[in-house]
Amino acid sequence: MNLKELAEQISARFLEQGVKVPASEIEQRLHSLFYDFKVPIEEATRSVVSYYSKLHPKQESASATEVSYTKITDISAEDKWINLRARVVQLWEPNSPSIAQVGLLGDETGTIKFTSWSNANLPILKDGQSYSVRNVVTKSWQGRFSVSLNKASEIVPLDEEVAVGRAEEEIAGAIIDVQSGSGLIKRCPECSRVVVKGYCAEHGKVSGVYDLRIKGVLDNGEVVTDVLFNRELTERLTGITLAQAKEMAMEALDQNVVADAMKAVIIGRYYVVRGNKTPRWLLITDFKEPAQIKEEDIGTILERAQELL
């Protein structure tokens, strides 16, 4: 390699870092070091690079302290300190005074639960705003990851908006269970929390508002997914409307008859569901029955079986 080529290479490398140094200038210095000062070519290169790096210290230091942001989908271990560029997707009501805020953060790759602790005294995050969230710690609970915002965390609002990947997922499987708290339920008129025995956890004794939902378990033989159907989807799934459900419960003097009737319709049947992932639930946005079995489906399986013989 001659000095001209080497100079061009070094110049290109600086350009990558946003620093313009003419190749001719570099070549001149190399030439002088190599021929006039009898310095080996490696040392000459090093000297030139070092010289120009010092001339442009800003870029150099900026690249050294550049923050690296983790993508939400790449989070795979707990107790790691990471930085996120994310948008506040959802805020939930904290269930403890030691928690200042709890909700979901999202980036292009997915969403993750976050908890901002009261004693960390961090700025309050606004729903829908994008932030650079630095120095947060990953946590794991029942196999799901979350991030914890603590005293060392830094939160800076971003001017641009972080696009949140629609963490929508489609899965097919059989509904094999319907959990308690499904069917006809009552919600607190203030906060929409589910009312248990006439009491809201936040607002005490309230006269609840009736609603329908299904907390189901979808199982495809490999993975179990908790699936949540809202009123509209529950009505479509079970063919039981809110009005009918109220009537059924009144007639039987028992709210549970609704969930039982719904179980009889859906448990053991196959569905293809689509929904948004949250740490615990797949919040169903749409579902359908699987496509009718066709002769080709049978043929495909028989072919695969033959291959294995």
Partner 1 sequence: MSLRQREVARRLFAKELNESTLFYKEHEDTYAPQYLLTPTGAKCNRVFVVGTLTEKENVGVDSDYWRARIADPTGVFPIYAGQYQQQAVTQLSAIEVPAFVAVIGKLNVFHANDGPVKVSIRPEFINVVDSETRNRWVLETAEKTLARIDRLRRDGEDVAKARDYYGTDASLYVGVVIEAVKALKKEYET
State the residues that interact with partner 1 by CB under 8 A: 142-143, 174, 176-177, 217, 219, 221-224, 263-264, 267-270, 290, 292-295, 297-298, 301-302, 304-306, 308-309
To which H or E segment does residue 177 belong?
Answer: strand 168-178
Shortest Å, Cβ 123 to partner 1 = 33
In terms of Cα–Cα distance, which of 57, 48, 2, 50 is closest to 25? 48
Give the residue with the Cβ less far from partner 1, 232 or 260: 260
Give the residue with the Cβ less far from partner 1, 1 or 308: 308
Q: What are phi and psi of 127, to 5 degrees?
A: -60, 130
Report the alpha-carbon distance of residue 162 to residue 106 in Å, rounded.
8
C-alpha dihedral over 188, 284, 86, 90, to 10 degrees? -10
Report the alpha-carbon distance of residue 18 to residue 33 in Å, rounded.
25
Give the largest CA-CA distance in the chain: 104
- What length is written for the chain? 309
Task: Report helix, strand and coil shares of the chain as percent, to nearest 5.
Answer: 35, 35, 35
Shortest Å, Cβ 59 to partner 1 = 48
3-state secondary structure of 302: helix
> For residue 147, how many other CB atoms are within 10 A of its CB?
24
Give the residue with the Cβ less far from partner 1, 79 or 159: 79
Give the residue with the Cβ less far from partner 1, 178 or 212: 178
Helix spans in the chain (H): 3-16, 23-31, 41-55, 57-64, 231-238, 242-252, 256-266, 295-308
Give the residue with the Cβ less far from partner 1, 165 or 279: 279
Shortest Å, Cβ 100 to partner 1 = 24
Shortest Å, Cβ 264 to partner 1 = 6
Shortest Å, Cβ 76 to partner 1 = 17
Give the residue with the Cβ less far from partner 1, 217 or 283: 217
Shortest Å, Cβ 290 to partner 1 = 7
Give the residue with the Cβ less far from partner 1, 96 or 292: 292
3-state secondary structure of 270: strand
Report the alpha-carbon distance of residue 103 to residue 105 in Å, rounded.
7
Give the residue with the Cβ less far from partner 1, 191 or 302: 302
Shortest Å, Cβ 172 to partner 1 = 9
> Residue 113 pairs with which residues in a beta bridge?
104, 146
Shortest Å, Cβ 219 to partner 1 = 5
